Chain A
């Protein structure tokens, strides 16, 4: 993997030769290569035939069944439903606008030149704007219940709001876990360990079933808010451990120097420790977020109509029975593209943040 001093890139022919050499030297290597090729030959052609050659790209379920291959017409039919869910048809421009805002901000956040406090402010403003836009009831926008929100739009909302609310909480929990005050330390450790020690869906069940029990009588909590509560809690607990890793990685000298300057605890953390600790853990934070993003699919168990649940519901359409594989392949492709992009981004950051020579 070492970069040679000569910048001449190998030609395609040379690379092919190297590849063949690596694959076909020695009896063991040849055997392994042949096994791999056999596996590919066994899997790829039937898959290609199913997904492309025999596939139906538009038409009805009957045409799909006649062709025998993949029924992409089904995915096409359900595409907008999977994006917007049950949101009222004529109001769909609202989730669409929300998603444009969201995607713009996410892309802006990946550019390090924009990492200033203005970006934070933009997120705060956008969070309020997006919620208002979706919910309506003001500025002449008709009111839309959260029950009707759905599809990829709600997956984005859960992930983004969960992170936005959970992140500050995560920092507090991590600081608390490293605190010198025993009561604070025990409290934060207990919360983190209890949340991480139980399955995520049990927290969702708890939020869905138990939260109403804990509220004063007569107070009802919106179902989406309950989901966000649970999701925020587990985002906070998982992120807190990542932040704790960053805090522990800070050399003692940094703490001592801050103390020597006579800074108070909060100033020391805000100005010296946290900026460094958070920066070195950014790749780990992105990785944790990928895991949490995938876990938004768990809301299926309490009946929130997220992207995945929407597709599952589509399978029950009597006009389009019997195409689960297509629906799942489509869902998997969407999640894969999003998560893979995030993971590549985190790897790039990791390279950028590693000082040369290490």
Chain B
């Protein structure tokens, strides 16, 4: 509207922010008044309705005992604990499935995206079929489907045993667990030291390449450190003890349990999101011009190095932004856990609402939590995006 300034009334002496015309000011004033009026009336209605139900607006209920039994908790929890703790347990459950899901979906999605571009028509066709079927059916349906499948697995006594120490049954997935002892602590320290050393090595080699133009691979000493140091620590201090699941009576004892609900939710989220990530990866790789492949081939690079050194760095610029939204989608979609009974944040919040009637407060809490998770994820991915983005001079 700025270019109609000649026809617009003379500008005020103190320029108004943004808007240049009186009409703009009026529009904004109207909007502000409408928002305030509607908000005020909704707030009053809410107070009146809550009063009619004998409720008081406020977050005091968070300190009351919840009495919600939650089967899966990463921190100690009993039904006698407060609502605050129950919601925290739900949040941790959400984060657990989201973080593991994001990692697995990325790995599977990249593999599928590459398979979709394979020169082998059989592999391409199979991957294409998978992607179309998964993308065109609702996630809720897939989740209950996987849940039904997991519940149809054999009973504990006939549990499937695909790998030693891994048992798959109606009760979920059983895996060996690392015991939290001093040996595990030192093993973790060793891994940390190895990673730090690898990073320092990488930095030194980069500086060397800048200076001399020579390039030496760092993966061999890096991997040697990563595996060598913990093994060395194991010899010196003793290996961290592993608890193997054993069948005792009607259930397994020891080991780590992934409940059927967690397992079904993770399976569903990973399989669903991976199909979308695969398409993003495919589109990203296809966006790199053919000339880049040809030039790299002309330099005599091997196919693996072409992908790693030439194609992927360029494809990542196209891949990262939509990948971020897929990560956010996976996190938000984990709230569908309520359909199959995994106690995530939304599920615990829903129970809390039913028990206390404090709907506004609880919903405000979980919406705020999801907004924070979304913002933090976007922030991290945007930082990464800036690192890979095209640097124009």
A is bound by B = yes
Q: Mark B141-169, 1 if CB is under 8 A from A, else 0.
A: 11011001100100000000000000000
Q: For window 340-355 of chain B, which residues contact chain A by CB distance below 8 Å?
A: 346, 350, 353
Q: Does B27 count as interface, using CB distance less than 8 angstroms?
A: yes
Q: Taking the nearest CB of chain B, how far is it from the CB of A179, in angstroms? A: 9
Is B4 in contact with A259, judged by CB distance below 8 angstroms?
yes
Q: Does B14 count as interface, using CB distance less than 8 angstroms?
A: no
The segment from A222-230, A328-336, A349-357 that touches chain B is A328-336
Contacts of A182 in B (CB 8 A): 17-19, 28
Which of A199, A214, A216, A265 is close to B332, meaning CB atoms less than 8 Å apart?
A199
Number of chain B interface residues as a range: 35 or more
Is B132 in contact with A340, judged by CB distance below 8 angstroms?
yes
Q: Does B374 count as interface, using CB distance less than 8 angstroms?
A: yes
Contacts of A324 in B (CB 8 A): 144-145, 148
Q: Does A39 count as interface, using CB distance less than 8 angstroms?
A: yes
Which of B20, B35, B138 is close to A297, meaning CB atoms less than 8 Å apart?
B138
Q: Does B293 count as interface, using CB distance less than 8 angstroms?
A: no
Q: Does B339 count as interface, using CB distance less than 8 angstroms?
A: yes
Name B115's closest neighbour in chain A (CB-CB). A32
The segment from A102-110, A201-209, A273-281 that touches chain B is A201-209
Q: Does A80 count as interface, using CB distance less than 8 angstroms?
A: no
Is B359 in contact with A295, judged by CB distance below 8 angstroms?
no
User: By DSSP majority rule, is chain B's interface helix, strand, loop, or mixed?
Assistant: helix
Is B24 in contact with A180, judged by CB distance below 8 angstroms?
yes
Q: Mark B41-81, 1 if CB is under 8 A from A, else 0.
A: 01001101110100000000000000000000000000000
Q: Does A36 count as interface, using CB distance less than 8 angstroms?
A: yes
Using known A-B contacts A29-B119, A180-B1, A180-B18, determine if residue A332 contacts B145 with beta carbons closer than 8 Å: yes
Q: Does B371 count as interface, using CB distance less than 8 angstroms?
A: yes
Q: Does B133 count as interface, using CB distance less than 8 angstroms?
A: yes
Is B49 in contact with A201, judged by CB distance below 8 angstroms?
no
Q: Does A145 count as interface, using CB distance less than 8 angstroms?
A: no
Contacts of B371 in A (CB 8 A): 194, 197-198
Q: Does A81 count as interface, using CB distance less than 8 angstroms?
A: no
**In the complex the two chains form, what is the Cα distance from A332 to B141 in whole Å?**
7
Is B31 in contact with A183, judged by CB distance below 8 angstroms?
yes
Contacts of A201 in B (CB 8 A): 335-336, 338, 346
Q: Mark B1-16, 1 if CB is under 8 A from A, else 0.
A: 1111001000000000
Is A22 in contact with B335, judged by CB distance below 8 angstroms?
no
Q: Does A164 count as interface, using CB distance less than 8 angstroms?
A: no
Contacts of A343 in B (CB 8 A): 135-136
List residues of A whose CB falls within 8 A of some B CB: 19, 22-23, 29, 32-33, 36-37, 39-40, 180-185, 187, 194, 197-202, 205-206, 209-210, 212-217, 256, 259-260, 262, 265, 290, 294-298, 300-301, 308, 312, 324-325, 328, 331-332, 335-336, 339-340, 343
What would be 17 A-B contacts, judged by CB atoms less than 8 Å apart?
A: A29-B120, A32-B120, A36-B123, A197-B371, A199-B336, A200-B332, A202-B367, A210-B359, A213-B50, A213-B360, A214-B49, A217-B45, A294-B136, A294-B139, A296-B138, A312-B144, A324-B145
